[in-house]
């Protein structure tokens, strides 16, 4: 069993290194990182729908994204602002857990739901449409035509990218909350909505929850033997 665990560890950390290297390749790196942006902005949108309206989502080639929504009350605005980084961390965890259970096609289905809903309902800018169509088409080909070994490899790489990006983006927002608090995005919105909690605390919270989900994702997912 120890030998199997060591083999899994080496393979997974190899994919983590590959994900880090891939996300720093010019143009291609930003392209693959948008998968995390889609999850993040979808998190805002899904929660916004519970008590408000989502106007549109824009996805950009520099990996940034914006969700335009309206809320009828403070609670809706608060949880909508909270949802982006939480969704990124939860989906990263879920990806590792599903791979650990060998539920590869379920993971593809979940990611296709994110892509499909954005394509049908929310995203209308040119780059966003290009990304959703090309990435979604690649997933469909993988689902219906790909060999199981290829499916396993691609999904492990995507899960690694989601994990790396969920933690690194949360770290970046924490850093920005200290260095440029007025540019801290979701952390700034939450600070305004909860006047007694400063933006830096929200930045720390986003990073802490990302690290926690990363830890339990590794523990309960990729390193758990069935």
Q: Enter the pTM of the model.
A: 0.93
Would you say residue 2 has pLDDT above 50? no
% of the chain residues with pLDDT over 90: 75
The per-residue pLDDT for range 103-140, each reduced to its tens digit, is 988 999 999 999 999 999 999 999 999 999 999 999 89
Would you say residue 221 has pLDDT above 70? no
Closest CA to 159 of 106, 109, 96, 219: 96
Calpha distance 187→205 (Å, rounded): 9
- Cβ-proximal residues to 196 (8 Å cutoff; 6+ apart), any chain: none
Chain Cα centroid distance, residue 114: 11
* Confidence at residue 9, expressed as pLDDT on a 0 to 100 scale: 60
Calpha distance 143→137 (Å, rounded): 10
pLDDT band at 223 (very low <50, low <70, confident <90, very high): low
Calpha distance 158→15 (Å, rounded): 9
pLDDT band at 6 (very low <50, low <70, confident <90, very high): very low
pLDDT band at 226 (very low <50, low <70, confident <90, very high): very low
Residue range of the domain that includes 28:
2-222
Percentages (nearest 5) of helix, strand, coil residues in the chain: 80, 5, 15
Domain count, the chain: 1
Extract the tokens encoding 205. 């919270």
Would you say residue 10 has pLDDT above 70? no
Calpha distance 78→73 (Å, rounded): 9
- Ramachandran angles phi, psi of 66, nearest 5°: -140, 130
Q: Do residues 124 and 56 touch, judged by C-beta distance below 8 A?
A: yes
């Amino acid at each position: 069993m120890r030998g199997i665990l060591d083999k899994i560890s080496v393979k997974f950390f190899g994919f983590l290194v590959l994900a880090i290297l891939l996300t720093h390749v010019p143009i291609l790196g930003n392209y693959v990182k948008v998968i995390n942006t889609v999850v993040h902005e979808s998190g805002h949108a899904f929660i916004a729908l519970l008590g408000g309206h989502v106007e549109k989502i824009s996805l950009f080639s520099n990996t940034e994204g914006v969700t335009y929504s309206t809320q009828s009350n403070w609670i809706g605005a608060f949880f909508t602002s909270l949802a982006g980084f939480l969704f990124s961390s939860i989906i990263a965890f879920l990806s590792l857990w599903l791979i650990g259970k060998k539920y590869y096609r379920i993971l593809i289905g979940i990611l296709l739901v994110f892509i499909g809903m954005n394509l049908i309902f929310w995203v209308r800018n040119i780059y966003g449409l290009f990304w959703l169509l090309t990435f979604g088409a690649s997933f469909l080909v993988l689902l219906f035509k790909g060999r199981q070994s290829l499916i396993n490899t691609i999904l492990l790489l995507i899960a690694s990218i989601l994990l790396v990006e969920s933690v690194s983006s949360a770290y970046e927002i924490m850093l920005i909350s200290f260095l440029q608090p007025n540019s801290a995005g979701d952390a700034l919105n939450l600070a305004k909505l909860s006047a007694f909690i400063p933006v830096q605390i929200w930045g720390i919270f986003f990073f802490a929850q990302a690290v926690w989900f990363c830890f339990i994702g590794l523990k309960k997912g990729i390193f758990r033997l069935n």
